[in-house]
Amino acid sequence: MAYTSPSRHRTALLASSVAVLGLLTACGNGTGTASPPQKVPGTAAPATGGPTTGAPATSTAPGSAPSGTTTAPEGTATHPGSSSPSAGGDSGSGTGTTARGTRCHTSELKATVGRNDPGAGQENFPVVLTNTSGRTCTVHGYPGAAFVDASGRQLGPDPKRESGTPSTVTLRPGASAWAGLTFSNPGVSGARTATPASLIVTPPDERDHLTVTWTAGQVPVGGNASSVFLTVFSPGTGP
């Protein structure tokens, strides 16, 4: 039996213990204290709630509209159906297709103002249209009329229409139709007055007017009882 000295025996035991310890360290991490930290693929959101690197920006500034949407400005609108009133307003003619097709045009007519027929504080003038053309034509309804000064500026408001039943008046060449123009005598009504230079007369359904020199003195243009009235056309040159 070989003899082993005590010092060698202790040395052998120590070497064996170191070898076993090294083996355990290299193979196991069950305790979690011996293995180094390991990297996991991907990114983790920080625990502090700070911005996430690489995340797409999805928020918009307060009050801004989302991308791709269009908001119409307030207060803008189209005009529905382009339905604004036509210039000159209602002609009051009430004509049918045949009457419109044969109506007298301004260029075919002559306008005159007949003699005053006063009564009961009223001034009454016939406004006469005479067919000067070589064809038969018609007038229907009310004329347009206004008093103007020498520069063509209108005096007073537009005349009003008295109630009446419009009828078609046929005018052969040289024939006439008349409509009444009436107003309260300014000396009786106390209305504000002016002295017109002319009366302009527009035939029914026409744009162009005829000018008649006004020689009958002052007319009411404002204040009390200042309205001027027109009646529908009738055949002839006056009542």
One pLDDT digit (tens) per residue for the chain, 239 residues: 444 545 554 444 444 444 444 433 343 444 444 445 444 444 444 444 444 334 444 444 444 434 433 333 333 222 232 222 333 333 333 334 444 569 999 999 999 999 999 998 999 999 999 999 999 999 999 999 999 999 999 999 999 999 999 999 999 999 999 999 999 999 889 999 999 999 999 999 999 999 999 999 999 999 878 899 999 999 999 98
The whole model's pTM is what?
0.59
Task: Look up residue 61 and give its amino acid.
Answer: A
Closest CA to 92 of 210, 238, 226, 206: 206
CB 138 within 8 A of CB 99: yes
Domains of the chain, with CATH numbers? 97-235 (2.60.40)
